[in-house]
């Protein structure tokens, strides 16, 4: 039976490479349904691949990500060693489907299973063309215990700075303004996530999170959202969510 499943998976991948996306989608969904019955984490991978097939067809993938999120929540509620990872996977699925509030709520649930440990704060990169906002963010971050804080005043310098950090094997958190003079925040986020798909990006904008550009950037993989004007507590909550969304 295992060999048969591997053959189906290999065939689905072949269909996908050849742009036979409907056939690939059907096979991935068949494999996912089987693994969900066994409560195997491979089910999530198959659902992600199925959603990619729909993306290549120009179709919406919310249904597949919702199904994956509910599946991971089912595993998480078993209250076992897999619960923290399952909650984090569920949160990421909700993020991918644009359901930010649910993602943040599930991330809070994951905190109950994570032991409190003292660890070194990650580097922070503030990307904002406003000196006043940059100064406020730096002040808040210092109050929250962050010491390694770097700044960039436009999109191009942000790309250069963050790329260097990534090449130096660092894992920074990016506080990214959506509106800058050269490149918009969504363009910067897309380029950075192409370099490091699990990069932690917190959007900072005056726009509502329902705005198309914000929702699009969230879909790229940003981990949290702060709306201007913001408080130190809102910044702390966004940083906490970002840390919880790091699958270790």
CATH of domain 124-239: 3.40.50.2300
Per-residue pLDDT band at 119 (split at 50, 70, 90): low
pLDDT tens figures, 61-115: 888 888 888 888 888 887 677 788 888 888 888 888 888 888 888 878 777 765 5
Q: Specify the fold of 2-111.
A: 1.25.40
Question: What are the extents of the domains in the chain?
Answer: 2-111, 124-239
The tokens describing 154, both together, are: 């436009």
pLDDT higher for 22 or 4?
Answer: 22
Indicate the SS3 state at residue 52.
helix
The confidence score (pLDDT) of residue 1 equals: 42
pLDDT tens figures, 19-71: 999 999 999 999 988 888 887 777 888 898 999 899 999 998 888 888 888 88
The confidence score (pLDDT) of residue 215 equals: 63
Instruction: Say if residue 139's pLDDT is above 90.
Output: yes
Q: 224-227 and 124-127 as β-strands: parallel, antiparallel, unpaired?
A: unpaired
Residues 6 or more apart whose Cβ sits within 8 Å of residue 188: 127, 155, 158, 159, 176, 180
pLDDT tens figures, 165-221: 999 988 899 999 888 888 887 888 888 888 888 888 898 887 665 566 556 655 555
Per-residue pLDDT band at 248 (split at 50, 70, 90): very low
The confidence score (pLDDT) of residue 246 equals: 65
Asked if the peptide bond before residue 229 counts as cis, ω within 30 degrees of 0, the response is yes
H helix intervals, the chain: 2-17, 21-37, 42-56, 62-76, 83-96, 100-111, 131-143, 155-167, 185-195, 212-220, 232-244
The confidence score (pLDDT) of residue 137 equals: 94
The confidence score (pLDDT) of residue 118 equals: 46
Q: What is the mean pLDDT of residues 123-149?
A: 92
Per-residue pLDDT band at 120 (split at 50, 70, 90): low
């Amino acid at each position: 039976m295992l060999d048969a499943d591997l053959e189906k998976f290999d065939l689905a991948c072949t269909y996908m490479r050849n742009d036979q996306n409907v056939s690939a989608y059907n096979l991935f969904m068949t494999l996912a349904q089987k693994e969900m019955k066994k409560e195997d984490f491979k089910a999530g991978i198959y659902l992600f691949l199925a959603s990619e097939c729909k993306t290549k067809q120009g179709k919406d993938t919310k249904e597949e990500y919702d199904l994956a999120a509910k599946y991971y929540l089912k595993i998480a509620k078993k209250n076992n060693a897999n619960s923290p990872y399952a909650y984090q996977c569920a949160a990421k699925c909700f993020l991918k489907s644009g359901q930010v509030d649910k993602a943040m709520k599930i991330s809070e649930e994951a905190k109950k299973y994570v032991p409190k440990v003292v660890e070194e704060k990650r580097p922070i990169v503030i990307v904002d063309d406003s000196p006043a906002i940059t100064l406020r963010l730096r002040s808040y971050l210092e109050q929250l215990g962050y010491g390694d804080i770097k700044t960039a005043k436009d999109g191009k310098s942000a790309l250069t700075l963050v790329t260097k950090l990534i090449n130096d094997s660092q894992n920074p958190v990016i506080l990214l303004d959506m509106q800058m003079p050269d490149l918009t925040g969504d363009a910067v986020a897309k380029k950075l996530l192409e370099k490091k798909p699990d990069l932690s990006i917190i959007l900072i904008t005056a726009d509502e999170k329902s705005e198309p550009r914000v929702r699009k950037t969230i879909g790229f993989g940003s981990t949290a959202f702060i709306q201007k004007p913001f408080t130190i507590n809102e910044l702390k909550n966004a940083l906490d969510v970002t840390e919880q969304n790091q699958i270790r």
